[in-house]
Structure 1
């Protein structure tokens, strides 16, 4: 995810699952003696600043440091925080148990690799990496070191999506619109990797039959990369998904519609609301459930903590992130073929 860039240069002990490594490389378990887990934020751009804001509200996390080669971002977005500010992310190593990596996508792999190799849990913004080969190496390294590798597909933690997900059963048709205005922070990736990949991740959780066909069209408008795209996916199960993503729209729209046997579910990502329509006794009944209005970023951090603490996997895993990346790359290949025709 775009952000700051980098150059080289209870008082009772709680067994919280996999954690630090000693100098011999043997796994040590976390033991919390009334202390919270140390977290560092690598990249303090737009998303990095949001992570810092939310982390400051969660008592189980203790922000120890932030790193960014952009001193203006670092000073502005860390103002009021009593933390260590670094220009070189490698200097964060001794201060953290886990890191949030919110840098340009091109830098995800080397930074993730550095922290995983040194025994730190990693939450990385989406997309997980630039290439599948990089994603594979990150996943393998995390598994080898018995560390958590999570990917920040934020919409998975939207309370409206979580609610709808409990109702989804063999969907037949899904329609998604994700429209927004252009942001200069996204110049390193196209609209598929910037916006649509959120929705690809969600759909892949609801249908694991595999994609049979990809149809796509899209064009650059105000950047050198694809700024608006429409994609039609056909799954082996028979599901058809139609997705539109744009970063050149005046109004921000985030809508998800799911059609399945005898049920239509409408989700507003932005309002975090759900409407359901069902045919019963010859009548169409509408239901608008009450959903807790919790910020998705808050849910993401709660789930990352639970996972690192050994309570199970509550994250978008590295494997999930890879699957979304693979589908996104397939769509980009199809878009390029259409543009070249």
Structure 2
């Protein structure tokens, strides 16, 4: 691994799709980073995005890995495990878009290899920054219940994995932090899509003490809806993610200006990734947490087939 303590971090992006473009722009905008290039198996896609960002196109993963200190993995989710493992085994730091991998086994392998090689492995659960800006993670009380709706219009983006891994995984990650425990029971129903790749899923997770989290995720809806209600003994916190508004029912002193407090969660994640690489902070969103979200999502998908 190269010595990067006194220079900019050289970062490449794997995946020339929407998320690859977004991540590449954040890297290019960060003064402590150099965007080395874009990797994609499609030369046309790689060259188009690389040209747009005045960087180099790669269609050989080993070639871009030879030029970088770190890699952001924004390929289709089914390829996250293989691409990230190749980067980690080459001694490169990785930020992997959610989900960390398409299976719990692959996610655990990434965690193990990153630990063995001493590289940073950060999970791409950027929505945590929104909850941090709200002040929700500072609430001492554990919720009594949580209900999350995350539905969108039909799209082929993310369709290589279940809607659970594609969309619901965000709310799974947030619920784990709020409940501060792992679910002890899982029930789930497939509402649309194929048994091995559902497009709409409803799930109920029971946590210690009987608290429940109810999730609805769909990529087959007629309109977008992203809301969450978190119930506490003194009232409910209700969030409308699309309107960027919420109601602090229990009067916890949450921050109504959260959208201006963290206007760019992905940019913040990029900055934290670079800081972790430079040894200035611990990993902002740990690989272990990313793997836990994948494990729960996989269990939910299995429950829909029970």
Cα distance change, pair 77–162 in 1 and its aligned pair in 2 (3 A): farther
5+ residue gaps, structure 2, are: none
> Match of 2:40?
68
Contact 1:128 1:135 in 2 (8 A): yes
Contact 2:191 2:202 in 1 (8 A): no
> Match of 2:227?
255
Point out the more displaced range, 47-56 or 193-202.
Answer: 47-56
> Match of 1:114?
86
Pairing 1:321–2:254 present: no
Pick the structure with more helix per residue.
2
1:25-40 matches, within 5 Å, as 30-32=4-6, 35-40=7-12
Pairing 1:127–2:127 present: no
Q: Report deviation, 1:142.
A: 0.8
Matches of 2:161 and 2:32 in 1, distance apart?
Answer: 33
Cα distance change, pair 78–163 in 1 and its aligned pair in 2 (3 A): farther
Q: Secondary structure at the match of 2:222?
A: coil
Pairing 1:47–2:19 present: yes
1:158-307 matches, within 5 Å, as 158=130, 163-167=135-139, 169-221=141-193, 225-278=197-250, 289-291=256-258, 292-307=261-276
Per-residue CA shift, 1:79-116, capped at 9, x if unaligned? Answer: 33221111111101222110001112232222212111
5+ residue gaps, structure 1, are: 1-19, 22-28, 280-284
Contact 1:209 1:237 in 2 (8 A): no
Q: Secondary structure at the match of 2:249?
A: strand
Q: Secondary structure at the match of 2:201?
A: strand
The count of corresponding residues between Structure 1 and Structure 2 is 304
Contact 1:160 1:274 in 2 (8 A): no
Pairing 1:137–2:104 present: no
Matches of 2:55 and 2:181 in 1, distance apart?
Answer: 46
> Match of 1:11?
none
Q: Secondary structure at the match of 1:63?
A: strand
Give the TM-score normalised by the residue count of structure 1: 0.82
Q: Report deviation, 1:64.
A: 0.8
Task: Decide which of 76, 87, 94 is 2:59's aligned counterpart.
Answer: 87
Matches of 1:168 and 1:71 in 2, distance apart?
Answer: 50
Matches of 1:289 and 1:149 in 2, distance apart?
Answer: 32
> Match of 2:68?
96
Matches of 1:323 and 1:287 in 2, distance apart?
Answer: 27
Contact 1:41 1:67 in 2 (8 A): yes
Q: Secondary structure at the match of 1:158?
A: helix
Matches of 1:151 and 1:41 in 2, distance apart?
Answer: 15
Task: Decide which of 115, 123, 143 is 1:151's aligned counterpart.
Answer: 123
> Match of 1:25?
none
Matches of 1:287 and 1:67 in 2, distance apart?
Answer: 41
